[in-house]
Amino acid sequence: MRHRVVRVALTAVLVALVLLAVPLALAIRSSLYADQRDALERAALNGAVRVTPDFATGDPVELPAPPRGGSLGLYDPRLYLREGSGPASGDAAVRGALGATVSRGSSGGELVEAVPVSHAERVIGVVRASSPVQDVRNRVFAGWAALAGACAVALTVAVLVARRQARALAAPLENLSHHCRAVAAGDLSARAASSAVAEVDQVARTHNEMLDHLTELLRHARGFSANASHQLRTPLTGLQLTLEAGLGRDDTCLRPALEEALTATRRLHGTVEQVLRLSAAPGLNRPPAPDRSVGQVLHETERHWHGLFARDGRRLERSSRDVPDDVRVPGGPVSEILGVLLDNARAHGRGTVRLTVRDLDDALAFDVSDEGAAGSDAGRLFERGHSGGAGAGIGLALARDLAVCLGGRLFLARPDPTTFTLLVPVLPDP
């Protein structure tokens, strides 16, 4: 930002200097030339006053001193130099003055002024004054040099002022950027300081107010996570212990039901762990380590959902395309996401549901498809609170967040037939 402020200031100053200096330089040149011609005309008039009518009969004339570096001469009507200095024969300016008018011009690198001398309504002579053009040019160049120096001083002052103003404007923004980086790094106690710039102060106040609200929201969220962790984990752990104790009894009639209830309880415990982990620090958690093979995840998922689809008169098919069963993935989050997708296919889809795993070298693609269509609201499927049926509209949003925590991605691959794809990066097994 500092360089931009300096560039803008310099551009403005340069434009102003050009708009002012060019006309002023032309005015200096015109003024110096006009002053020199006026001085020559005054010298010629001063010499013409000293010419008497006896000049025509041969009476000598005493002319004043010529201009510095120039010449002053008296010419008769035959263009001969009679007194003073100058060319021996009159030039164009002298011939022009014989018409009873003041004549001016340039000849041989000189500025020339010629004034007629009249008597009895007749021109009896011409006084010619001249000076070198180079003298005027030297004064013009000196004036231009002074103007250039003034422009250089103005430009230097503008650079110094612009750099100072750039520092004054950029320092509060740099301070605000520093605090934003600190907040992005996790320090929610960082607050932007006030400055002398009202607009930046307004942004800083808004930034601090936003941090206050975010800190309060995070405090409530962490409090909720702690409360939910205590209130959910403790009853689930007690329920698991009770079911495990029931399995220790020799009651063959209740054993299948207890095993199924224990499996559901463990799955619920895993779901609670994933949700609490996701809500504890969204976006800051590291991806969980791979702990289960792909074959184990597919087997557990099929075993849980096959009966549910069978009760609805539908089929669940799974396949893996050249994917080794020993490739390991984070089992809990992947199972939870697949569960959400299969539940969504059961509630909103129709026909046969297919769970397919594809090997993409550095990632695995889990495809969940059915024979239904996503409909016109396909673009809003992952919006929290949006549901195509009687659901709460949380499942797909939760699955997408879990996929992000895995370092992967969940998206709708095809709306018709409905196909969701979960991309899970495959990390090398240490």
Q: How confident is the model at residue 218 (pLDDT cuts 50, 70, 90)?
A: confident
Do residues 256 and 296 share a domain? no
Do 272 and 344 have their domain in common? no
Query: What CA–CA distance (Å, rounded) separates 309 from 307?
Result: 5
Q: Give the CA count within 13 Å in the CB-facing half-sphere of 7.
A: 4
Task: Report in angstroms the alpha-carbon separations of 129 from 48, 59, 116, 306.
Answer: 11, 21, 12, 120
275 and 326 part of one domain = no
DSSP 379: G
Answer yes or no: is 189 within a domain: no
pLDDT of residue 283: 47
Q: In terms of domains, do 53 and 107 share one?
A: yes
258-294 pLDDT, tens digit per residue, is: 666 666 666 666 666 666 665 554 444 556 777 788 8
Answer yes or no: do 204 and 93 share one domain: no
pLDDT digits (tens, 9 = 90+) for 4-14: 777 888 888 88
Range of the domain at 352: 292-425
Asked if residue 203 belongs to a domain, the reply is yes
In this structure, how many other beta carbons lie within 10 angstroms of the beta carbon of residue 427? 14
What is the number of structural domains in the chain?
A: 3
Tens digits of residue pLDDT in 157-197: 988 888 888 877 777 777 878 878 887 787 777 777 777 77
Same domain, residue pair 328 and 360: yes
- 50-91 per-position pLDDT tens digit: 888 887 777 888 889 988 889 999 999 999 999 899 999 989
- Given 96, 124, 140, which residue is the final one in a domain? 140
Question: The domain that contains 346 carries what CATH number?
Answer: 3.30.565.10
The strand order across the sheet containing 363-369 reads 316-321, 353-359, 363-369, 418-425, 409-415
Residues 310 and 272 in one domain: no
Q: In this predicted model, what pLDDT tens digit does every residue of 362-377 receive, in sequence order?
A: 889 999 999 988 775 6
pLDDT in tens, 80-108: 999 899 999 989 999 999 998 999 988 88
Residue 313 resides in a domain: yes
